[in-house]
């Protein structure tokens, strides 16, 4: 029987292996990546220019699952809500990727198309150009923070004897684990969209 052949090196294989390293260690280096793929570093350079490009490939991989709403029937709130929820779903699976992505300039087209759609939705809402970028950033920050929350341990906080009554009550009344992060993200997104709906346009 022939040995299974080594998978052919391409940008998909590279991005997938880098994501596995980041999920595990929070970071990756090119030598580690070459080792994980059993190739030489120079083989990697036949496919990518360097680390920045690999970060963009990982970003594209995480963002590719987001289906943009089609058609024009949605309100801007529905459009933003659909995109943000898909975005949260995707990133909550890779919490350790988040700080790596936020520390690099977004250049990946699969990702930029999501921001194109958000900008269109906020323009439809009547936000001027500068305010549009702020609205995008606010939603973006909330999605990423909530994706980290979704990856939190079952016990997020452990109160002690000196904790306030108000905090202890809140912890005791908390939602069951399997719903907590998603229900809270959905409420928070509603709160943000409601808040954005009522700020004066400029």
d(CA 51, CA 190): 37
81 close to 197: Cβ distance less than 8 angstroms: no
Q: How many residues bind its own copies (CB under 8 A)?
A: 76
User: What number of other Cβ atoms are within 10 A of residue 27's Cβ?
Assistant: 11
Question: What string marks each residue from 82 to 101 as x (binds its own copies by CB under 8 A) or -?
Answer: -------------xx-xxx-
Least Cβ distance, residue 36 to its own copies (angstroms): 17
**Single residue of 50, 109, 126, 177 touching its own copies by CB under 8 A:** 109
Residues 18-77 that bind its own copies (CB under 8 A): 25-27
Least Cβ distance, residue 78 to its own copies (angstroms): 17
Least Cβ distance, residue 42 to its own copies (angstroms): 25
Least Cβ distance, residue 34 to its own copies (angstroms): 19
Q: Is 178 in the site for its own copies (CB under 8 A)?
A: no
Going from the C-alpha of 78 to that of each of 82, 83, 189, the distances in angstroms are: 6, 9, 11
HSE (side-chain half, CA atoms, 13 Å) at 157: 11
Residues making up the chain, counted from first to last: 202
**Single residue of 129, 176, 177, 201 touching its own copies by CB under 8 A:** 129
Question: What string marks each residue from 131 to 170 as x (binds its own copies by CB under 8 A) or -?
Answer: -xxx-xxx-xxxxxxx-xx-xxx-xxxxxx-xxx-xx-xx
d(CA 185, CA 88): 9
Q: Is 125 in the site for its own copies (CB under 8 A)?
A: no
Going from the C-alpha of 99 to that of each of 23, 141, 155, 181, the distances in angstroms are: 12, 11, 23, 19
Q: Which one of the spans 35-43, 61-69, 74-82, 129-137 is the region binding its own copies (CB under 8 A)?
A: 129-137
d(CA 48, CA 14): 9
Least Cβ distance, residue 1 to its own copies (angstroms): 41
């Amino acid at each position: 029987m022939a040995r299974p052949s080594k998978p052919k090196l391409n940008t998909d294989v590279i991005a997938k292996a880098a994501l596995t390293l980041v999920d595990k260690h929070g970071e990756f280096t090119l030598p580690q990546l070459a080792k994980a793929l059993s190739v030489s570093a120079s083989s990697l350079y036949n496919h990518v220019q360097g680390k920045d490009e690999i970060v963009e490939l990982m970003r594209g991989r995480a963002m590719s699952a987001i289906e943009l709403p089609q058609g024009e029937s949605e309100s801007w709130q529905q459009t933003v809500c659909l995109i943000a929820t898909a975005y949260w779903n995707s990133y909550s699976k890779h919490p350790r990727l988040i700080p790596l992505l936020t520390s690099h300039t977004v250049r990946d087209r699969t990702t930029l198309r999501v921001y194109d759609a958000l900008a269109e939705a906020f323009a439809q809402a009547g936000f001027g150009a500068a305010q549009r970028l702020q609205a995008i950033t606010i939603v973006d920050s909330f999605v990423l923070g909530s994706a980290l929350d979704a990856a939190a341990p079952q016990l997020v906080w452990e109160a002690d004897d000196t904790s306030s009554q108000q905090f202890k009550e809140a912890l005791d009344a908390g939602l069951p684990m399997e719903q907590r992060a998603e229900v809270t993200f959905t409420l928070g997104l509603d709160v943000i969209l409601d808040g954005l709906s009522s700020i004066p346009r400029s």
